[in-house]
Structure 1
Amino acid sequence: MVEEDTEIDCVLRPMNCEINLLSRSDGSTMFMQGDTTIVAGINGPMEVKSQKMAYDKLSIEVTYTPLTGPAKVDDRLIETYIRESCESAILVSLHPNTMICINLQEVQDSGGLLACAINASCLALINSGLSMKFTIAAVSCMIEKETGKIIMDPDNTQLKNAKAEFTYAFDSINKDIVCCHSVGRFSQSEFLASVDKCKQVSQFIFDFYREITKKYANTV
């Protein structure tokens, strides 16, 4: 489905997903935004006895697997952003001395990979039934070199003409930023304008979550 808001002049690429995709996971989804596709699976909460785990809250382990080759530095960065975003959303104090594993598999990257991965993780968490304070919606955008125009949810072809790229994740209650990633050079006014547009667009993704939840809730 294509979401459009004429007031802020933006279009998101079509979004689609399949819930309960993995039979051995407690929650899973395949989330597609345009041609960018991520499969996410949640396992846990499970008991752990490792010294690395926190004894007063839920610990989160994220594993991101690229489409080809071994994981690179950028892939480890994706894991960090997803772990911190999910930790802010989950009621971690309800599950002390336990952990969940979030496993993500890249299927296709056509732009907006980090945003797609965060949204896939959130949908998998919703599917798992884990208690959450809020849901998270991630939106990517770019600033075009020639025009300085902010383009929402760009694909790889559009990103070739970007002077700066942004990915923001917002909570569903106050629309506060829970994750921010940027690449390139930009001014403060460009940064604030991109935050404002992405914040408004994030509502489309929250609406998509609700629609998907209504569809599968009756069959679970």
Structure 2
Amino acid sequence: MTEETTEIDCVLRPMNCEINLLSRSDGSTMFMQGETTIIAGVNGPIEAKSQKMAYDKVSIEVTYTPLKGPAKIDDRLIETYIRETCESAILVAFHPNTMVCINLQEMQDSGGLLACAINASCLALINSGLSMKFTIAAVSCMIEKETGIVIIDPDSTQLKNAKAEFTYAFDSINKDIVCCHSVGQFSQNEFLASMDKCKQVSQFIFDFYREITKKYANIV
């Protein structure tokens, strides 16, 4: 399953995924965006540990494992973004006193790692059958140093010429931002222009989710 070209002067790298990859997870996927690859597994709702229990909602725990070496500060930041993003999408009040564990394994990073991880997490949650308010699509982009052009879903080679990088995540209902991460220097106009382009491109990711779900579900 591949989505590639958009109609708004932007190109998404090809997306592919494999569902139900992990036998011991309630939902899992290997999601590829270009050559960037993440494996995500979801378990839950399960009984929460007392120190992590929330009496009025489900607790979300995210564990991100980099390809090489122990987790670093940047990896903990990825966990925080994914946890807060997924918590906004899950109907947390449906499962009080329980926990949902999202485990992510980096397989390859060729740019857009955070966006790929968020999209992999969303697909794994869909596959798990957990009740959600909406799905989430994350899109990365950059502003080129020399030209000031907004490039959607850049790879690691293109990112070497970036003066600013962005990752936006949008909900499937109103296309509101549920997550935003930025690096570098940029103006307000550049921020708004990049956000607008990513918002438009996000529809292609939601369409990809729909096609994948049709392929693996009997009723959509």
Return the TM-score normalized by structure 2: 0.97
CA–CA separation in structure 1 for the residues paired with 2:51 and 2:10: 47
**Does structure 2 retain, via aligned residues, the 8 Å contact 1:2–1:11?**
no
CA–CA separation in structure 2 for the residues paired with 1:124 and 1:172: 16
CA–CA separation in structure 2 for the residues paired with 1:43 and 1:2: 28
Sort the Cα spacing of 1:147 and 1:44 in 2 relative to 1 into closer, same or farther, 3 A. Answer: same
Sort the Cα spacing of 1:49 and 1:71 in 2 relative to 1 into closer, same or farther, 3 A. Answer: closer
Partner of 2:208: 208
CA–CA separation in structure 2 for the residues paired with 1:140 and 1:49: 35
Residues 1-220 of structure 1 aligned to structure 2 (within 5 Å): 1-6=2-7, 8-218=8-218
Any unmatched runs of 5+ in structure 2?
none
CA–CA separation in structure 2 for the residues paired with 1:3 and 1:52: 41
% identity of equivalent residues: 88
- Pairwise CA distance, 1:51: 2.6
- Pairwise CA distance, 1:61: 0.3
Task: Report the residue type matching 1:140 in the other structure.
Answer: S
Task: Report the residue type matching 1:31 in the other structure.
Answer: F
CA–CA separation in structure 2 for the residues paired with 1:205 and 1:51: 36
CA–CA separation in structure 2 for the residues paired with 1:136 and 1:166: 16
1:39 aligns to what SS in structure 2? strand
Return the TM-score normalized by structure 1: 0.97
2:45 aligns to what SS in structure 1? strand
CA deviations over 1:106-130 (Å, ceiling 9, x no partner): 0000000000000000000000000
**Does structure 1 retain, via aligned residues, the 8 Å contact 2:3–2:204?**
no
Task: Report the residue type matching 2:63 in the other structure.
Answer: T
CA–CA separation in structure 1 for the residues paired with 2:60 and 2:22: 19
- Pairwise CA distance, 1:2: 3.9
Task: Report the residue type matching 1:25 in the other structure.
Answer: S
